[in-house]
């Protein structure tokens, strides 16, 4: 079993191993990004607790992606 990594990969091989070892997390991230689009037209004041968490988590992922 591959161990999850928190360091940046230095090669495509390392990158693939990182993705494989964190496959469940990657799957959850993809699902979150699909789910959050349904909240785009909502007012932030009407979001429930889990929806707020989802919005914040996806925003952090987006900002990380943008670098």
pLDDT of residue 8: 86
Asked, for residue 22, whether it belongs to a domain, the answer is: yes
From first to last of its 67 residues, what are the pLDDT tens digits of the chain? 555 556 888 999 999 999 999 999 999 999 999 999 999 999 999 999 999 999 999 999 999 999 7
Burial 19-45 (b: 16+ CB within 10 A, else e): eeebeeeeeeeeeeeeebeebeeeeee
Position of tokens 């990969």?
A: 9
pLDDT at residue 2, rounded to an integer: 56
- Domain membership of residue 50 (yes or no) is yes
User: The domain containing residue 26 runs over which residues?
Assistant: 13-66
Q: For residue 52, is it within any domain? A: yes
* Position 1 in a domain: no
Q: Quote the CA–CA distance of 32 and 49 in Å, as a whole number.
A: 15
- The domain tally of the chain equals 1
């Amino acid at each position: 079993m591959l161990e999850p990594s928190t360091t940046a990969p230095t090669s495509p091989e390392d990158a693939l191993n990182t993705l494989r070892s964190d496959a469940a997390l990657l799957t959850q991230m993809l699902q979150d990004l699909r789910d959050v689009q349904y909240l785009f037209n909502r007012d932030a004041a009407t979001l429930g607790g889990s929806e707020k968490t989802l919005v914040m988590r996806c925003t952090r992922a987006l900002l990380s992606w943008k670098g």
